[in-house]
Structures are given as C-alpha cells and as structure tokens.
Amino acid sequence: MPRKCFSLVLADMARYNPGGKAIIYGEKKVNWRELNNRVNRFANALKVLGIKKGDHAIILFHDCPEFIEANYALQKIGAVPIPMNFRFIAREIEYQTDQSDSVVFICEEIFMEQIQKALPNCKKLQTVICVRRGMAPLPAGMLNYEELMDKHPPTEPPPVTTEGDICTISYTGGTTGMPKGVVLTYRNFWNLAGSMFGDLLGRVAGDPKSNFGRIIGTLTPIPGMEKIINTLIAPKGVRPFLARSIPRLLPKTFGTPMGPLLNRFTGGFSMFLNMPLFHMANYQVLIIGPISGLSRFILRPGISFDPKEALELEIIAKERPILVMFVPTQWKKVLDYPDLQKFNRKSVLVAMTGSGVNPAQQKKRILKEFPNALVADIFGQTEMTPDTSIRLDASEESLKDRCVGKPLAGVEIRIVDEKGKEAAPGEAGEILYRSGTIMKEYYGDREKTAEVIKDGWFHSGDLGYLDKDGEIIVVDRMKETISTGGEKVYPHEVEEILESHPKVEHACVIGVPDETWGSTVRAIIVLYEGEQLTQGEIIEWCRDKMTGFKRPKTVVFAEELPLSPVGKVMRAQVKEKYGSP
C-alpha cells in the first residue's frame, strides 16, 4: 500500500494537533498550526516564483525555525531541499550549489559575507531568498523571506509527491575529499521511521534493566502511570512479547491520525537536537518525526555548540526534553562542564549518541550524570538515511567498548574480507548493508555510486566484526588503517587510549611514510589548557597500554584539530598538515 504524501503528513499534524508544540527555539514557541500555516504561505510564494516539482534548492541556515519552514515548504511543492553547511566558505558554497544543479538559494543574512562572494559564480541560480536579521537592506536581487510569506495565503498546496520521489540531497562531510550528494527518497525515510522508532521502543521494552514504565509514564498525564506499567510488564514473558510486537505494530500507525492525536494527548516525544540540522544525524528527525506523529523539536538558539547554553540557560531544565542528542565530542564537553551536578537533568530518559563511536568509559559517565537515562548509541552513515544499528545500555554492567549493537529491523549486514568473502567469526572486515534505506545514488556521479552499491549491497567502508552476541564491534574506517611493518594499526583504538590520559583533550593518529616500515604511527595531541607533556612522556605512558607496533613513534603537539560540524576530526586535513616524515 502506497505511503501518504509527506505534505499530507504535515497537514495532519496541524489538523489533529493544532496547538501542540512543534518547535521550541529559546523563548520562541511554534505550534503545529502556526508552523503549517507559515510553511504553506512560503510554499505558495515559491510556486508563484515558478519553483516546481523536481527543482533543487539550497537552504543555508543555522538551526532555527526558518530552516524547518523552508525545508517543509519546498517539500510541499515537490522541490528538493539541499541543506548546506553554514560554516562553508565561498568556494565550498559555490561547489555544492553548482554540483547539485540548484536553481534556488534560501539563506539568512548572518552568513552574507561568504554567500555574496560565491553567488556571482553560481550560474544556474535563478532565485535568491534571504531572511533579514538586522536593519540593513538586502543586496540587490535578493528577495525578502518574510515579505514573500506575507503576500501569500496559508492555503494547503495540492499533494504532488510519492514515496519514490526525492526527499532531499544530503552532502557528506567531505573528510576524505569533496562532498558527495547523497540522494534520499521519501521511501527511504518511511522505511527508517518504522525500523528506528519501532526498534528503539521495542528494545527498551524488552530490556529488563530499562525503566520502560518511566518513559511511557512521562508521556501520559495520569499520576502513577510509571508504577502501573512496570507492574503490568513484570510477569515473565511480557517484556519479550512487547519487544517482538512493538516493532511490528507501531509502524502501522505512521501516517494515520493516531500519532498526532497521541502527541496532542501527551505533549509529544520532546527531542533536544544539538547536531546541525544540515547533517543527516539531525535532519532525519525532521522527516521521521512528523511521519511518526510523535515528535517535537527543541533547538539551541546559538550557532555553535556550547554546553553552557544547554545547562546555564537551563534549556534542559525548562523544556524537560525526554531525549537529548549529542555527538561524542559534545558529550565530553557536557560531562566535563564545571558543577554539572547542580543542573536539573532529571527529565532526560534517553541519552542519544551517534556520528562517531562513543567509548564505554564515557557512556559510564553519562549513566552516572544522567541517572534517569539509558544510553542509545546509533550507528550508520548518510548513505543509509542514516541509521543502521542501535545499542541500548541501561546499566554500567552491560557496556562494551566500540559496540554499536545489532542491526535495525529491515537491515541485513555482512562482514567480508579484502576478497569479498565472508569474514571468519571475530575477524574484522568491511561492513556491508542491504536495506530499504540505502540511498538512491550519489547525485551526478554514477561511477562512485557503482563503487559502493554492488548487487544490492552497500559497501560502507567501515571495518568491524560480530561478537559472540551478534553485536557489531566497529574497528575503524578502511581508508584510515595504517600499515606498518606488515601489521595493521587502527587509529581510533590508539586515539581512545591517548585521550584517556588526564592531560590530553584530543588526539588524532595518522600514518607517516617511512622507508623501512612503510608507515610509522604519529600522534597529534591537543592538551587541556594549562597542561604540559613531552613526546617521551606520551610514548612512555603508552608502553603498557598497547603493543609496540601500535605505539606512536613521534608526537606532535597542536593548539587545535580541525573538526567537522559533528565533532569528527578532519583526518585528511591533519595528514596534509602533519603527515610529512
């Protein structure tokens, strides 16, 4: 049975839960009726400007309501939103705009300096629309976002998309070269919504160490519901039954009035989003949230992540999100924040992490500092829409290093060796996926698409293996493995050990060309402010913590490391700067 047009999904949120909170952005609160009206006004404005189904449009905003409005408005008329990294300089803006064949550019003026440098070279653009933040007039040729919206009615545009149409094109981080445009369809997101929400709730229900009653009780205004639910699921066999049934039954409610009505009754599953919306780790929630009908979005007003904003300004304490999302680097900053204990963190029931492997030692700290929460570790990549596996930890006893759990429902995996044959149990190999969430293609690049999708399997480039429990243990990226004297060194393993040193804030391990060994291991170290170490002290500290060929042979101390928007070290830039013998 065909899934509902996404524009109707948004309309249903406004119809069945009009007063429910959709977006919380500092002191600004937007309900679903208000959001849908503004989306419709802007969608109708775009239609009058000649924007039509299939047209490509760049959206360049920090995490703010206008990002969501512009994205949904484009999707209402069948155009394709292409989120852009707001930290891009002119050359990068120009590249993505041209490579994506975008004819529309929607942005905010706080990034105008780089935008104005880039746009004259973007020859395919026909329309530029800008959100004016200050009093200065917009540059000539740019249309005013709010003025356009004010001129058009909130009439619902007719539905024009099917699940096979393109929902978005998301550009990869470009840590190993120029970003690639990952083409994702509405079908990809419908498939993801069913597996993600169904698996997440199903696994929580099935884990005897998780407080399932607290999560469900928080969503209901009935006093004492936590105790009632935990009593009902206590008998033997109930939790396993729920673990099997929820992933099968919950997706059947998606796209129906049930989700928005439940949201209206409960107040919704509030999510505090901290990764940039242009990144698929967060963007996915903008699509699967309305599909499920359950989500409301809490955004940080700040452009860059600062734990002070979440804690000192009491976003967590005031808005009481059930789920918070941080990448491992952000979690480290939150956990290291002075006097963390004095801030109210009781509302957080799901501490979500992703976009990088979070060490078990850090997860242990999360469980300690957020005592009502379980840790949900989501693993995947943009090309998989993006999630492929999930692991839940409700207690310290269950923690495993570099373990990202079992595949989501509907995701098949294989581990293969360098010859493409099944790897032996416990042997590291490339992780392959087959699922209804695999991207359609890399935009405009059939050759690279053919390199990663073969016989229906997506070749991830990640190295890993299955442990005795059938869970995925992530080793490293294939391209980042260092070969030294015939041995393989996995940088992330060494980096985790280095970063456990009390004086080391960040570490990046790379291979340096060597005539004798092929490559030797070099560590680039960022120390905590005010700390001092020598190369000899680092090497000596590693001596009893790793075998000889893994230990750094040279150490370079740096003021900072280049990081991607989600806190991953840009290894290619590090190698370019520090990789000479």
Q: Is beta strand 472-477 parallel, antiparallel or unpaired with respect to 457-466?
A: antiparallel
Provide the mean pLDDT of the chain.
92
**Most confident of the ranges 63-72, 330-339, 398-407:** 63-72
Report the distance separating Cα 4 and Cα 7, nearest Å: 8
Backbone φ, ψ for residue 478 (5° rounding) = -55, -45
State whether 220 and 99 are in the same domain: no
Q: Find out whether 550 and 483 touch, Cβ atoms under 8 Å.
A: no
Give the per-residue SS3 of 58-92. Answer: EEECCCCHHHHHHHHHHHHCCCEEEECCCCCCHHH
For residue 552, pLDDT beyond 60? yes
State whether 121 and 211 are in the same domain: no
Backbone φ, ψ for residue 246 (5° rounding) = -60, -45
State whether 421 and 492 are in the same domain: no
Instruction: Please name every residue paired with 393 in a beta bridge, in sequence order, or none if there are none.
Output: 375
CATH code, domain with 345: 3.40.50.12780
Domain boundary among 476, 497, 514: 476
Q: What is the pLDDT of residues 474-510, one digit of tens each?
A: 988 888 889 898 888 889 889 989 999 999 999 999 9
Q: Find out whether 567 and 534 touch, Cβ atoms under 8 Å.
A: no
Containing domain of residue 556, as a range?
482-578
State whether 233 and 127 are in the same domain: no
Instruction: Give the residue carrying structure tokens 């300004």.
Output: 313
Q: Which of 6-15, 286-295, 315-324, 404-413 has the lowest mean pLDDT?
A: 315-324
Residues above pLDDT 70, as percent of the chain: 99
Burial class (CB in 10 A: 0-12, 13-18, 19+), 108: buried
- Tell me what the mean pLDDT of segment 412-424 comes to: 93
Domain count, the chain: 3
Task: Say if 496 falls within a structural domain.
Answer: yes
Q: What is the pLDDT of residue 114?
A: 95
Q: Please confirm whether the linkage preceding 338 is cis (ω < 30° from 0).
A: no
Q: What is the pLDDT of residues 513-537, one digit of tens each?
A: 988 888 999 999 999 999 999 999 9
State whether 492 and 471 are in the same domain: no
**Radius of gyration for the alpha carbons in the chain, expressed in angstroms and rounded:** 24
CATH code, domain with 567: 3.30.300.30
State whether 381 and 497 are in the same domain: no
* Closest alpha carbon to 383 in 171, 178, 572: 171
* Closest alpha carbon to 161 in 312, 43, 65: 43
State whether 125 and 226 are in the same domain: no
* Closest alpha carbon to 438 in 371, 385, 372: 385
For residue 117, pLDDT beyond 70? yes
Instruction: Please name every residue paired with 488 in a beta bridge, in sequence order, or none if there are none.
Output: 483
Q: What is the pLDDT of residue 380?
A: 94
For residue 570, pLDDT beyond 60? yes
State whether 465 and 489 are in the same domain: no
For residue 177, pLDDT beyond 70? no
Task: Say if 170 falls within a structural domain.
Answer: no
Task: Say if 180 falls within a structural domain.
Answer: no
Confidence at 110, pLDDT banded by 50, 70, 90? very high
Domain boundary among 417, 446, 476: 476
Task: Say if 178 falls within a structural domain.
Answer: no
How big is the CA angle at 387 (ends 386 and 389), to the nearest 5 degrees? Answer: 155
Task: Say if 298 falls within a structural domain.
Answer: yes
State whether 300 and 210 are in the same domain: yes
State whether 472 and 487 are in the same domain: no
Q: What is the pLDDT of residue 172?
A: 87
State whether 418 and 294 are in the same domain: yes
Confidence at 173, pLDDT banded by 50, 70, 90? low
Q: What is the pLDDT of residue 317?
A: 83
Report the distance separating Cα 188 and Cα 498, nearest Å: 39
Instruction: Give the residue carrying structure tokens 């928005």.
Output: 260
Q: What is the pLDDT of residues 249-303, one digit of tens each?
A: 999 999 999 999 988 988 888 999 988 999 999 999 999 999 999 888 999 988 8
Confidence at 403, pLDDT banded by 50, 70, 90? very high
CATH code, domain with 142: 3.40.50.980
Task: Say if 574 falls within a structural domain.
Answer: yes
Residues above pLDDT 90, as percent of the chain: 75
Q: What is the pLDDT of residue 418?
A: 87
Report the distance separating Cα 378 and Cα 560, nearest Å: 27
Task: Say if 174 falls within a structural domain.
Answer: no
With H, G, I as helix, E, B as strand and everything else as coil, classify residue 469.
coil
- Tell me what the mean pLDDT of segment 39-67 comes to: 98
For residue 44, pLDDT beyond 90? yes
State whether 212 and 126 are in the same domain: no
* Closest alpha carbon to 477 in 488, 465, 462: 462
Confidence at 1, pLDDT banded by 50, 70, 90? low
Task: Say if 39 falls within a structural domain.
Answer: yes
Confidence at 350, pLDDT banded by 50, 70, 90? very high
Domain boundary among 476, 504, 526: 476
Chain length of the chain = 581
Q: What is the pLDDT of residue 569?
A: 85
Q: What is the pLDDT of residues 351-398, one digit of tens each?
A: 999 888 888 999 999 999 999 999 999 999 999 999 999 999 999 998
Cβ neighbours of residue 486 under 8 Å, at least 6 residues apart?
Answer: none
Q: Which two tokens stand for residue 290?
A: 């309305």
